[in-house]
Structure 1
């Protein structure tokens, strides 16, 4: 996934350079196809389970001539710090903290955070920092669904205790509604080169456990409402498209 991001950004940059025309110097309706990434510090209940996480994803927005925009965002979440891993797998580990694999040796196991969010968002661009009236301070809010879980990787899959469906008995699958607030800067370049957005991003997910049974708990997790918070930076590249009077789409 990480290797694909530079390739996607390079393609969008090339398309921008090969664009048919420059953006008009008036406020226009424009379609925005975006790819981006985020880096977040967890807070609330999220901080007790995971460390710093990242995200990569894509979105589509439509910006009106009034500089309002609405769209949909998808983000794939990932992280490498599972704080509760030792506690969760305690019932299947030896005294040295390792899992015994199918050969009688010690399994080489890594644990990770995984998840996703899907949201509808709306916002407004406030121009004034440059000559282009289509660029400026962007403030937006969104709402949708967020899910996260713990996943394991075992060398050669030699630990049947956590392989296949058995892994679901430890994965702490969690999900629920989420809302987000973003404040930053969005640039639609008149020269059709640097089309980007960057800013501060806050998410608050109100989640609950989704598994009926977790092996280490010998039952389900407590059905308590969780407050999973994400505070970080979000940035990305955009491919703008707009319609001219010829009813043809132009890329830049």
Structure 2
């Protein structure tokens, strides 16, 4: 069903209005240590290590964190991150579909263009602590975070407008390297909460460890070998930056009568 032009116009207006609402409620004097719930949007630039490096290289992450900060600068929350990239290192992935010219033919008999991407996500429980050193107020400072949760990732193959029956529907499961498990992560950086206004952020170094297993029984590019179910130790490390939005309670206004 197609949306009308006026309906499409409503979407960005709604998002801008929502952001303005958060902006208004985020303006408050926070010179003293406070407790407050908050949400954040975060981006990460990651490199791979361990068993993950034999499949993927540089990987982006985009996610969100929802938490509650106490007056003692402890933060308890949940975060989720979507991983994506196009640096795929699996050699000979679709070699069984190639002809003598190393091309994959579509149903029209012409060479098909096959694109490879890595995709994944995790969802975690996180505990953070802010140490108010080198900070303009008691709510800012060095931040340490530990988290643990569920990890899922796989290879995505796209043929775009080409029709390649061997790379559609159930056949894709023989190539996608679906992998799931648990992950832990650590973050060390700096968290800044402005005394006034919306300039609240955190940035620092991110380290992730995945303890995963392959979920497929066979890989079509190696049909004579049973896919390994051994434990995989996967690493990601890099930089993460986030914009946080505190959700303050409305301040009580005092009224005086003569």
Normalising by structure 1, report the TM-score.
0.88
Show the counterpart of 1:28: 34
Q: Distance in 2 between matches of 1:31 and 1:227?
A: 34
Q: Distance in 1 between matches of 2:214 and 2:26?
A: 50
2:189 counterpart of 1:164: no
Show the counterpart of 1:81: 87
Residue 214 of structure 1: SS of its match in structure 2?
coil
Alpha-carbon contact 1:198-1:236 (below 8 Å) kept: yes
Q: Distance in 2 between matches of 1:15 and 1:153?
A: 39
2:179 counterpart of 1:174: yes
Q: Distance in 2 between matches of 1:143 and 1:76?
A: 15
Deviations 1:69-121 (A, max 9, x none): 1101100000101111x412111112232211111111011100000011101
Show the counterpart of 1:150: 155
2:91 counterpart of 1:114: no
Q: Distance in 1 between matches of 2:26 and 2:114?
A: 52
Between Structure 1 and Structure 2, how many residues are aligned?
239
Q: Distance in 2 between matches of 1:13 and 1:191?
A: 17
Change (3 A) 1:43 1:241: same
| CA positional deviation for 1:166 | 1.2
Show the counterpart of 2:69: 63
Change (3 A) 1:34 1:74: same
Residue 130 of structure 1: SS of its match in structure 2?
coil
Structure 2: stretches of 5+ with no match in the other structure: 1-12, 253-258
Q: Distance in 2 between matches of 1:131 and 1:231?
A: 29
Structure 1: stretches of 5+ with no match in the other structure: 1-6, 247-252
Give the counterpart of 2:146 among 124, 141, 147. 141
- Written as runs of structure 1 = structure 2, the 5 A alignment for 1:9-28 is 14-15=20-21, 17-19=23-25, 21-28=27-34
Show the counterpart of 2:199: 194
For the aligned residue pairs, the C-alpha RMSD in angstroms reads 2.2
The list of structure 1 runs, each at least 4 consecutive aligned residues, that deviate by more than 6 angstroms after superposition, is: 7-13
Normalising by structure 2, report the TM-score.
0.86
Alpha-carbon contact 2:35-2:71 (below 8 Å) kept: yes
Decide which structure has greater strand share: 1
Q: Distance in 1 between matches of 2:109 and 2:163?
A: 10
Alpha-carbon contact 2:153-2:180 (below 8 Å) kept: yes
Q: Distance in 2 between matches of 1:198 and 1:93?
A: 45
Q: Distance in 1 between matches of 2:19 and 2:132?
A: 23
Deviations 1:45-86 (A, max 9, x none): 1111111000101110111011001101100000101111x4
Mark the structure with the bigger radius of gyration: 2
| CA positional deviation for 1:16 | 5.8
Change (3 A) 1:205 1:182: same
Change (3 A) 1:20 1:210: closer
